[in-house]
Every structure is written in structure tokens, then in C-alpha cells.
Structure 1
Amino acid sequence: MSQPGDPYPNQPQQPYGEQPAPQQGGGHPPAGQPYGAPGAAPLPPAPKKSKTGKIVLIVLAVVLVLCCGGGAITWFAVKDDVSDAVEATNTRVTAPATLAGRPKATQPELQAAVDTMIAQMKSTVQNETSTAGAFYGDMAKKNLVMIAAASGLLADPKKELDAAFTSTDLTMSNVAAVDPGPLGGEARCGDSESEGTKLGICAWADKGSLGMIVMYFKTGAQAKAEFVTMRGQIEQRS
């Protein structure tokens, strides 16, 4: 029965000393129990740490190998063989839309690394006629490939290839000469590792270009199997 002055005259009254039954869907939790428990949705798992930072570090190491080579690279006009000079002059490198069936990767972090790579090649290589850098494939599927190349009139391809594979920025093993393909010159492939990631690396040098192909999570033998195809899509002669 309601009493005069009762603010809720139509609500049933609880006997003195009894506590009202808890209401569904609201109210404060019992003392010591966090809000939302029990029955609360679990917290989402912490996001996996991206490997992109590691990939970028490897990019910088590879660019140092390719472009600096101990500071040995010098591009200048070839004077001793006219045919070589003409062929070299007509050589260009490019980053194709796809590489051996892999689409070009477009993640912002990887593109930023490519921009850094190309800027460093342009500032280091003297008198280059073209540069190329790109990533292809899918990092999540462990099918990522990086290319870095420059064209120009190169006096001593063997010397530059030696410098690329003896740089201290990447430790190479199992390095061996491989078939350079129809474009000629010299080529080698080998194994490396950086930041705990396995790398299969192939590089080529001829009178008109120097380039490197890096297959992440692969061996040098696996890189060798696709090297000629990839080089033929990167290096072009008119």
C-alpha cells in the first residue's frame, strides 16, 4: 500500500529489510566483479606484429650492396668496343606491372622503401640512364620478390658483380655463377639471411646494366630457377 508522499505510488513495495531482485540487462556488478562479466564479449586478440619493418631494413641493406659495393661502382662511356657501347647505350631497366606472374605490391610501407631505394641509386650511381625498383608478390604468403637495377655504360661488369657479392652489408654463401640468359653478361646466385629472414639473391652485370633480384623466404637455388625469366622482364634493349 502506498504512503502519502511516496514518489512511486503504483510500484509494489518491498518489505523492510529485503533487497530488490537484480534487474536483467543493467545495474552495477557485484562488488569485486568487473563490468561486463560474466557473459561479456572477450577482448579481441592483439594484432600480429607486421613484418614490413624487417622487409624495409633488408631493402636498405640490399641497396647498399647494389649501389655502393664498397664504393666501387663507376659508370662511364665504354671506349674500347664500339659494339658494346652501342648495346649498352640502348639498354634500359624497368619495373614491369607483373614479374614472373606476381603482381606489383602496393603497400604504402613497401612503396616508401622503393622510393628510398631509387633515390639512393640515383644519388650513388654516376651517369645512369634508368633505374628500377619494386616489390612483387605477397609477403603473407611468403612469396615476396624485390628488384633493384640501374642502366648505364659500365666499364667492368665483372668487377661490379664481384663488389656486389663481397659487400659486408649482407653475408652471402653458396654463391655460384649461373646462366645469365640471352641478355648475356655475368650472373650469380647465392644464399643470404637478414633479420632472421632467408633470402635467395641473384645479380647480373653487363656493359649496360647492373641488377639484383631478391626472393624473400627462399634459397638461392629457388631464385636461380626464375632468374632468367625475371631478368628478361626487367632489362630491355632497343
Structure 2
Amino acid sequence: MSEQNPYGAPQQPGYPATPPPAAPGYGGVPAQPGYDAAQQPGYPGAYPGYGGAYAPVPPPKRSRKGLWITLGTIGAVVVIGGGALAYFVYDATSNAGTQKIVLPANFKDTTRNDDNPVSAAMEKAMTDSLGKGDGNWKPTGVAGVYQNSSSEPDLIVAGAYGKVLMPKKELDAAFDGVSSKGSEVTDRHSVDAGPKGGEMECANVTQTDTPKMGICAWADSSSLVMVMKVPQDENSKPDLDKLAADTRDLRAVSEVPK
């Protein structure tokens, strides 16, 4: 005869095959389910760059005084030597202009570079233009390129001297000639010509896809000279007030008695 359980309770069953759900944590938040690989989103294909796609590498900056200076300035010089030539008079029996132009070797912090190809081209343009006509129109052409420590021209000078009958018309012909070469002349205005008198004007000159250039020019009974400058920063506007002051200073040392 088997021994009876004194407590009379049935024997406890073994552990169930599946444990019951875990009790909720503090605050009644249910336990988090396990990770399910099928439910996890994949990583994005690629992280975008800052601000979107990478910006393209900008092309190299063009020379601020490259081919345009060589061609555009020469066009102006040809007009000075040709289109405006009618207002220069040479007559062996009359008194010619009392002044001549002798460009200095150095001007302020620049040096005249006679080997610069721009200077050589301007000299040739002046010579070719002045050689045309009936032989009675013979002003003397002058040209020069002034450079600082860089290889780029700083000031470009072109003009002529002789006997000038109508200085104001001379200036008009010169600026009109620049416009006729496809350039746009803006902000043209008269400025103080300085103690030597005569007429002096300045303007901005632009062509398509080129830096803006400043031009100041003087004309009196002996000469017409244009002084041209492109700013160091090709995106900035030429300082015409400073260019006018430089032009007066250059005139003071270059226009001398014959």
C-alpha cells in the first residue's frame, strides 16, 4: 500500500513548453518585442553631400588683360590714329603745337615695358594709321604699357601729338571710335584737365565676356592721349576718379615743350 501525501495536494506539473508573457515594467509599459530582421529598414543608398550635390569645379579665371586688351585697345588706337586724324594738322609754314609727349620710363610704382606685345602692337597700329592719307596729316604717335611687379599691364597709354585744331572733337572721335569697335562706353563725363588745360574725359568700356575697363583721355592744342586701366579684380568697377588723377599726373610729366 503506497504512502499517502499528507497535504492531499496533487503533484506539480513540469515547466510549460512556452513561457507566459513577461509582466509589464514600471508604469505599465509592455516589454519590447525582439528584433525582427525582416522588419528593419535598410541603410539609405548614400548620404547626400552638404547642400545637395557637389558643386562643379569652376573653370580657371581668364586673364584680365589677355586677347581683349590686345585687340580692343588696338581698335581704339587705330581710331585715334585714323578716325580722329582729321583734327591733327601738320603745316611746315605754320607753328605746330608747342608741346610733345615723352612717356617716362617709370611712373609711380610702374615701369614702362617697351617689349610688351601690347605696346608693340599699338606702336604698329599707330604707324600704319598715321602713314595713310595724302601726307599732310602727320601727328607723331606714342604708345606704352606700364607694369608693376606682376606680368599684367597696369596702365596702357596710346595717343599722338602735333597740331590739334579742335580738341573737343578729337575726344569725341576717339570715344566714338571705341564704340564703333563693338565696345559699350558708359558713364562718360568731363573731368578736371589740370593745370595744363584743354579737355579731359573719362568713361567705362565693356565688351561681352570681358572685364570692364576704365579710360581717361586728354586733348589740347598739341596732343591727344588715352590712358586705359583694368582693375586688379576683374569683377570690380574701375575707379575713374583715381584713373583721372593718374592721367593728370602722367600728363604733367610726359607733356613737355618741344
State the TM-score bracket (shorter-chain normalisation): 0.5 to 0.7
CA distance in 2, matches of 1:111, 1:160: 22
Question: Shift of residue 61 of structure 1?
Answer: 2.1
1:66 aligns with 2:80: yes
Instruction: Give the percent of matched residue pairs that are identical in Structure 1 and Structure 2.
Output: 27
1:186 aligns with 2:206: no
Deviations 1:184-229 (A, max 9, x none): 1111011112450221101111111111111122343331131210
Q: Which residue of 1 aligns with 2:253?
A: 233
For structure 2, list consecutive stretches of 5 or more residues without a partner in the other structure: 1-59, 232-237
Per the alignment, in what secondary structure is the counterpart of residue 233 of structure 1? helix
Change (3 A) 1:108 1:100: closer
Q: Given the alignment, which residue of 195, 200, 212 partners 1:198?
A: 212
Deviations 1:5-24 (A, max 9, x none): xxxxxxxxxxxxxxxxxxxx
Deviations 1:47-91 (A, max 9, x none): 99765433211221221342234x56332269xxxxxx75x5321
CA contact (8 A) 1:95 1:134 kept: yes
Question: Shift of residue 107 of structure 1?
Answer: 4.7
Q: Which amino acid aligns with 1:96?
A: P
CA distance in 2, matches of 1:190, 1:140: 25
Q: Which residue of 2 aligns with 1:133?
A: 143
- Cα root mean square deviation, aligned: 2.9
Q: Given the alignment, which residue of 202, 209, 223 partners 2:223?
A: 209
Range moving further from structure 2, 101-110 or 173-182: 101-110
Change (3 A) 1:138 1:147: same
TM-score (norm 1): 0.65
Deviations 1:142-201 (A, max 9, x none): 661111121111111111111112232232111111111111111101111245022110
1:105 aligns with 2:113: yes
Q: Which residue of 1 aligns with 2:169?
A: 159
Aligned length: 184
For structure 1, list consecutive stretches of 5 or more residues without a partner in the other structure: 1-46, 79-84
CA distance in 1, matches of 2:153, 2:85: 32
CA distance in 1, matches of 2:79, 2:239: 18
TM-score (norm 2): 0.61
Change (3 A) 1:196 1:64: same
Question: Shift of residue 112 of structure 1?
Answer: 2.9
Change (3 A) 1:154 1:140: same
